[in-house]
């Protein structure tokens, strides 16, 4: 039996202990698999983020619709009419909730506080206005001097008779003035903020307009607003 030389045994031992080499096709295969896994994870993550964003957007849109619905409901629930119970009869007024919302809100608040109960119509100017509220409000002379020019000016729908308004200069709770026009007033916007119109009781307004007054246009017999009743519908 032939003997194996020690040098040959040493070389065979090193070959057995050395690491086996990985082929290039195997490396390419591993890299391809890892790449596909990474792409799958990225696609899944993007899909999840997109769905999460859509759900959040839908929730936000729903919340906004709920808020808008609440605002519209509150606006709809506000009284749109006021009945002025006067010592001469009832005057029914439609309030311009869209045209003058701030003034209407103020008027409604004062009505609920009973501000107009017992308030007199302290100035009556025939063919112009009847006025209740602060006696230091718009002066009669202002109405008569401006009224002389009415035939020379263009009249708009807001300048018609039987419009409800308040002074542009006085809108606080202590001096809130009510005016009801009894004739078209061309320069109405210079003096008043119109926030309603008489839809029933024009004859009552005309009856108040015909009362006897003194030289300062004050009625000789008291004419009062006994109460104000607010209605959502008439």
* Residues 217 and 126 sit within 8 Å (Cβ to Cβ): no
Residue 89 has which token pair? 């009869």
User: Judging by beta carbons within 10 Å of its beta carbon (0-12, 13-18, 19+), is residue 103 exposed, middle or buried?
Assistant: buried
**Same domain flag for 86 and 47:** no
Whichever domain contains 169, its CATH number is 2.40.100.10
Closest CA to 77 of 231, 229, 195: 231
Distance from the first to the final alpha carbon of the chain? 128
* Inside any domain, residue 128: yes
Name residues whose C-beta falls within 8 Å of residue 146's C-beta, 6 or more positions apart in sequence.
185, 187, 190, 191
pTM: 0.62
Domain extent for 167: 81-231
Q: What is the pLDDT of residues 102-148, one digit of tens each?
A: 999 999 999 999 999 999 999 999 988 999 976 554 444 454 444 43
Q: What is the residue whose two structure tokens read 């009625």?
A: 219
Q: Residue 59: which pLDDT band, with cuts at 50, 70 and 90? A: very low
The verdict on 55 and 166 lying in the same domain is no
pLDDT of 102 reads 92
Q: Does 169 reside within a domain?
A: yes
In a domain, residue 13? The reply is: no
């Amino acid at each position: 039996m032939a003997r194996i030389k020690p040098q040959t045994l040493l070389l065979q031992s090193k070959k057995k202990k050395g690491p086996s080499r990985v082929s290039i096709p195997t490396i390419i295969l591993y890299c391809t698999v890892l790449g596909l896994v990474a792409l799958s994870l990225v696609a899944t993550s993007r899909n999840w983020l997109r769905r999460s964003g859509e759900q959040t957007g839908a929730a936000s849109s729903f919340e906004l619709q709920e808020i808008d619905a609440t605002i519209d409901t509150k606006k709809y629930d506000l009284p749109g009419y006021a009945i002025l119970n006067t010592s001469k009869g009832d005057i029914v007024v439609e309030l311009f909730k869209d045209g003058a919302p701030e003034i209407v809100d103020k008027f409604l608040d004062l009505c609920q506080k009973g501000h107009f109960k017992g308030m007199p119509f302290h100035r009556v100017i025939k063919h112009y206005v009847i006025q209740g509220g602060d006696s230091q409000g718009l002066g009669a002379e202002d109405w008569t001097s401006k009224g002389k020019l009415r035939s020379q000016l263009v009249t708009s729908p807001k300048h018609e008779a039987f419009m409800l308004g308040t002074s542009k200069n006085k809108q606080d709770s202590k001096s809130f003035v009510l005016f009801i026009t009894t004739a078209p007033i061309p320069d109405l916007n210079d003096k008043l903020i119109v926030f309603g119109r008489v839809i029933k009781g024009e004859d009552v307004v005309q009856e108040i307009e015909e009362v006897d007054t003194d030289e300062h246009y004050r009625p000789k017999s008291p004419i009062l607003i006994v109460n104000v009743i607010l209605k959502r519908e008439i």
